Structure 1
Amino acid sequence: MENSSHIIIDPKELNGKRVLVTGGTKGGMGEAIVKRLTKAGATVITTARTTPDELKESDLFIQADISTPDGTTKIAEYILERFGGLDILVNNVGGSSTPTGGVLVQTDADWQRTFDTNLFAAVRLDRGLLPPMLKQGYGVIIHVTSIQRRFPGENTMAYSSAKAALANYSKALATELAPKGIRVNSVAPGFTETKAAERLIERMARERGCDCSDARQALMDSLGGIPIGRTARPEEVAKLVAFLVSNRASYIVGAEHTIDGGIVRTI
């Protein structure tokens, strides 16, 4: 894979900015975003349901279940008390544990849990952390959606529906807040090879009796292929987020930015 380590990061671009990235641990996109924004000079707080073993700065981590009202309230209260507010909010948490088998095996609880994680977590955090942004007349909010919102399937209908709702909400919020100095955009990743994706590939390889490269290709083929010929790296998504939260993107508002290697072929 291409080595992007030669790209120079301005260590002062986000100097002094207070940032929250939800779900910023466990080798996923969130962790890559945390690292990228930290290198750009920001003070980056993150969240997770469990405290990571390698935690270095406890005041920059909040243990909370963001899919619950109590969890988002805990996060907002800590941010307001400890940091007085935020300049940048990256709503990264997402995912689904909905059972396979179609609509008849997916209960109300499955749907509610999926929407709590992928939609309401962002809505509640935005609502809890917006007042200081409005007062200071500046802020950036990023919602991480997914190309799955365009590819609803039998086993992803709840997740796809929740991400579609998040994209719709993000657009409406951007329109409301732009006149008040707050930019809202969304990022729609495709097949990104996070640690969780790596585990899925390894499990498929074991089940099929093949190697990981064949299992990875099978997953790519299930999406109709990836024109660029490979999966995304979390760091590539992080670079896009870093651009969107910076002043370099000062005129970008209410847009969903797809980063998928060409999977989505519609205009």
Structure 2
Amino acid sequence: MARQPDPAEFQGRRILVTGGSKGTGRATVRRFLAGGASVLTAARRLPEDPEGALWVAADLTTPEGTRALAEAATERLGGLDVLVHVLGGSSAPGGGFAALTEEDWRAELDMNLMPAVRLDRALLPAMVAQGSGAVIHVSSIQSRLPLHDSTTAYAAAKAALTTYSKALSKEVGPKGVRVNVVSPGWIYTEASEALMERIAAKTGGTVEAAREGVLQALGGIPLGRPAAPENVADLIAFLASDQASAIHGAEYVIDGGTIPTV
């Protein structure tokens, strides 16, 4: 049986979570709400059931969208204690490097790197001024295990996010702001299912065959299953908590053992 969160764990904490409308982002919003936090998140379209979070209608792949969310964090929460960047995904076609257009590359960077850069630039100065805060960027093991047929641009963008996060940690850590990275392997979400459908459409095969192909390309998952979004959300919550007060500049992999090396 899963442990129930302490409803006072994040009481009084102001937390922004990107990508909160589905998948890992939604699980992360729910996890912080269960811990008593005030949570702000964003989506292109506002949900019918906000589940206790504050919402902003914004497209975070654009400078205007990230600006609107950053302004809302200041106006509606009065600043931040924790910034969690979960937003990510891939819409690029399969077919290897030659199938990727200029627009495909730009879209992957605008989804997986630039929103984090823009939000950090807007919101971290206030964290530095208050002398405390935690930032968690969600990257991917694809930065180390790219699938050349389907995730080259996504993997490159996530690798850039991981490297950027390390540089950021060196800059703001001495000023009281912790920065860490969570790198999941395969998480079974709506986005992963959509990827399987795109691969199947490109190859003319079935979704099940696409899943098996991805597993083989990854070298299998020794644990025997993908992670659930809630598993990743629990790790994010730990890194944002006081229990992780000495953890900084680190990357935490949650992949069921997929990466075969130390």
TM-score, normalisation: structure 2 = 0.92
Task: From the superposition, tell whether residues 127 and 205 of structure 1 become closer, same or farther in structure 2 (CA, over 3 Å).
Answer: closer
1:81 pairs with 2:81: no
What is the alpha-carbon distance in structure 1 between the residues aligned to residue 221 and residue 73 of structure 2? 40
Spell out the pairing of 1:29-68 with structure 2 (5 A cutoff).
29-56=24-51, 60-68=54-62
Aligned to 2:154: 159
Tell me by how many angstroms 1:136 deviates: 1.0
Question: Match for 1:233 among 219, 228, 232?
Answer: 228
Task: From the superposition, tell whether residues 145 and 209 of structure 1 become closer, same or farther in structure 2 (CA, over 3 Å).
Answer: closer
Task: From the superposition, tell whether residues 53 and 166 of structure 1 become closer, same or farther in structure 2 (CA, over 3 Å).
Answer: same
Aligned to 1:181: 176
Q: Which portions of structure 1, spanning 4 or more consecutive aligned residues, are displaced by more than 3 angstroms?
A: 198-210, 214-219
Aligned to 1:100: 94
1:205-252 Cα deviation digits (max 9, x unpaired) = 997568x6x764453233111001111100000110010000100000
1:18 pairs with 2:8: no
Tell me by how many angstroms 1:194 deviates: 1.1
What is the alpha-carbon distance in structure 2 between the residues aligned to residue 184 and residue 23 of structure 1? 19
- Contact 2:105 2:153 (C-alpha < 8 Å) held by counterparts: yes
Aligned to 1:263: 258
What is the CA RMSD across the aligned residues, in angstroms?
2.1
Equivalent pairs counted in the alignment come to 259
Tell me by how many angstroms 1:196 deviates: 2.8
Q: Percent identity?
A: 52
- Contact 1:103 1:154 (C-alpha < 8 Å) held by counterparts: yes
Spell out the pairing of 1:80-229 with structure 2 (5 A cutoff).
80-152=74-146, 153-198=148-193, 208=205, 216-229=211-224
Q: Which runs of 5+ in 1 are unaligned?
A: none
Q: Which runs of 5+ in 2 are unaligned?
A: none
SS at match of 2:61: coil
- Contact 2:89 2:191 (C-alpha < 8 Å) held by counterparts: no
Q: Letter of the aligned partner of 1:170 in structure 2?
A: S
